[in-house]
Amino acid sequence: MFTPKLIRVIVVDDSSFMRLVVSDILQQDSQIIVVDTAKDGEDAYQKTVNLKPDVIILDLVMQDYDGLYAVKKIMQTVPTPIVILSSEGNVHPESVVDALNAGAVSFVNKPRGILQSKIREIDSLLIEKVKIAAQVTAEKLTPTTKKINTNPHTFEKNTAYHIVVIGASTGGTGAIEHILLNLPSNFPLPILIAQHIPDKFVRSFAERLDHLVPLNVKVAQEDELLTAGIVYIAPCYTNMEIKQNPASQKIRISFTQEKFTHFNHPSIDCLMFSVAKIYQKYAIGILLTGMGRDGVSGLAAIKQAGGFTIAQDEKTSIIFGMPKVVVNCL
């Protein structure tokens, strides 16, 4: 009989009460064992070096050495999957985006207050995130040097493709950043992105990219006209699609409450279905790292319409879930 390998976890929080409660939550699952706890970022780093856990649960706000310090130092020397568990998402979402950009795998929002009844509202989600993080290898967490594409590019007036649509989930923020950093400032197509991320972080994610990459990046607004060279990130309180005016032929952003099978708010399938319908063979569809099947049917629709499709490879995917399914299906 096959016995799953135990997932060894370190819990990091400056509250001894929270360390106790989070440890208790995780160890409800027989596959998870908490091997130690830490009180701040430096303590977390030292214990990670000594114990080499499979996953770290990390708060962001701690005295002396905070969570972001820990993420950066751990990723530089002993890359280890990190799940952020912090209430910072309630007030400073940009801090969470910084941690994800520095190498953290995912985030769980700590409920307001420290009552045990509140923190236990997210027990199943936290356990799920730990199990997903445990699948990530150290090689995929190793930081890479980020360079902006400053090379001059010349594009033909009539390009072979008219739009790019990207879908991503766990690990996608870093992959999207890498793609955009490598595009020139005069990239001639609109880019649509559906990234699975809590809605309160979308604006911070877009603002960070807008300051970092050579293109104009923004959170998409309903009814705005698609413009070449603009990157539109889907908000995460609704599903996003595009629609074309039959008379003017102009294409605009649209929001819908239609539900989709594999994920909603934002549904990658929803966005890609609409792109396939309108742009057909003139679309480029890209499916990046993440768990599940969202985007598989949408990317298939683009391929069937004659568009060009790309799936991230296993070597570079934080989670080779969605891309693996699409590679096996298409």
Question: What amino acid positions are annotated as catalytic residues?
Answer: 169, 196, 294
List the beta bridge partners of residue 36.
10
Helix (H) or strand (E) holding 251: strand 251-256
Residue 107 DSSP SS3: strand
Under 8 Å between Cβ of 262 and 220: no
- Peptide bond before residue 266 is cis, with ω within 30 degrees of 0: yes
The upper half-sphere exposure of residue 103, i.e. CA atoms within 13 Å in the direction of its Cβ, equals 28
Characterize 193-225 residue by residue with b for buried, 16 or more Cβ atoms within 10 angstroms of its Cβ, and e for exposed.
bbbbbeeebbbbbbebbbeebbbebbbbeeeee
Tokens of 221: 């607004």
323: closest CA among 93, 201, 167, 189? 167
Give the integer Cα–Cα distance in Å for 277 and 285. 13
Q: In sequence order, which ranges of the chain are alpha helices (DSSP H)? A: 16-26, 41-51, 67-77, 88-91, 93-102, 116-119, 123-133, 172-181, 199-212, 268-279, 296-304, 322-329
Give the integer Cα–Cα distance in Å for 268 and 261. 11
